[in-house]
Amino acid sequence: MSSKILLKKATVFLGPLTLVVLWEIWLTWERAVIEIGLLTLAVVVGTVWYLTLRPLAISQLKVSFHQQEFWRFLITPGVFILAVYLFILITENHFWQQLLIIAANLLFLLVLQNLFDRFHQSSRYSSRSFESISGNINSISLFLLSVIFYSFITFLNMAAWQLALLLLVGTTFLTYQIMWLAGLAIQKSWLYVLVIDLIVVELFWVLLFLPNTFYIKALVITIIYYVGVNLSRNYLIDLLNSKMIWRYLTVGGIILLIALGTAQWS
C-alpha cells in the first residue's frame, strides 16, 4: 500500500477525531459557535473531497470536484453533521451532547470508510451496503432537522413557512442522493423525489398544529419518509415485491402506532 493510500486511510480516522476535538472545545467555549461551525464544515468538505480524489496531475485538480462526483457524495455526511451540530446547539443535557458527539462521529467514520473503499480499495466495496448506510443516515438527518425546525419555531419564533422551505430543500438533496446511489437518473426519479418531498413538507406543516412533542412529530415524518423512499427506490430498480411492501408497511405502521399511542395529546 503506497504512502498516499496510507495517508487517505489515516484521513478516515483523522476526520472524525478532529470533529470530536472541535466539538469538545465548543462545549467549553460556547461563544465560538460560528467559528467551530465553519471549522466543522471545512473538516467535512475537506475529508470527503480528499477521499474521493483519485490520483490526478496538478493541472487536473481544478476539475477534480466534478470528476469525482464530489458533491453527490458530500450530501449524506454534510447534511448529517450539520443536523447533529444544530441539534447539539439546542440540547442542554451534557450527557446527551457527549453521546451525540460519539455516535455522530462513529457514523461519519463509517461513511468515510465506505468512501475510501469505493475509491481506493474497490475489492472491499459493496454498493448495496453504502446505499443502506446512506439511506439510514439520511433518515436520521431528517429526524434531527425536523426536531430542530420545530424547536426554532417554538423557542425562536422563526417563520414556519421559511423552515418548511428549508426542510423541502434538505429533503430534496437527501432523496435525490438515495436515488442516485441506486443508479437512477434524475429523469427517471424526479417525480418520485418531488412527491416524497411534498409529503414530508405537508406532514411537517400539519403536525405543527398538534400538541405532541417535537420528537413524536419528527418520528412520524421520518418513518413515513423512510417507508416512502425505500418503496419508491425499490420499485424504480425493479426489486419491489409484495413481501417487501408488507414488510415496510408493517414495521412502519407498528412504530407509528407505538409512537402515537404513547404520545401525550394534551
150 contacts 210 by C-beta, under 8 angstroms? no
Burial class (CB in 10 A: 0-12, 13-18, 19+), 154: exposed
Cell of 92: 442542554
49 contacts 11 by C-beta, under 8 angstroms? no
- Helix residue ranges per DSSP H, the chain: 3-28, 33-51, 64-67, 70-90, 94-120, 127-155, 160-181, 186-207, 214-236, 242-262
Q: What is the pLDDT of residues 172-203, one digit of tens each?
A: 999 999 999 999 999 999 999 999 999 999 99
Instruction: Tell me the pLDDT band of 58, cut-offs 50, 70 and 90.
Output: very low
What is the mean predicted confidence (pLDDT) over 100-118?
A: 95
Please give the pLDDT value at position 125.
76
How far is residue 98 CA from its own chain's centroid?
19
Helix, strand, or coil here: 266? coil
pLDDT averaged over every residue in the chain: 89
Q: Is the model more confident about 70 or about 134? A: 134
Please give the pLDDT value at position 67.
53
- DSSP type of residue 159: -
Answer whether residue 66 shows pLDDT above 80: no
Answer whether residue 63 shows pLDDT above 70: no
Q: What is the pLDDT of residues 252-262, one digit of tens each?
A: 999 888 887 77
How far is residue 33 CA from its own chain's centroid?
21
Q: Is the model more confident about 262 or about 137? A: 137
- Cα four-point dihedral sign 225, 229, 230, 235: positive
Cell of 169: 430543500
Taking the C-alpha atoms of residue 167 and residue 161, their distance in angstroms, rounded to an integer, is 10
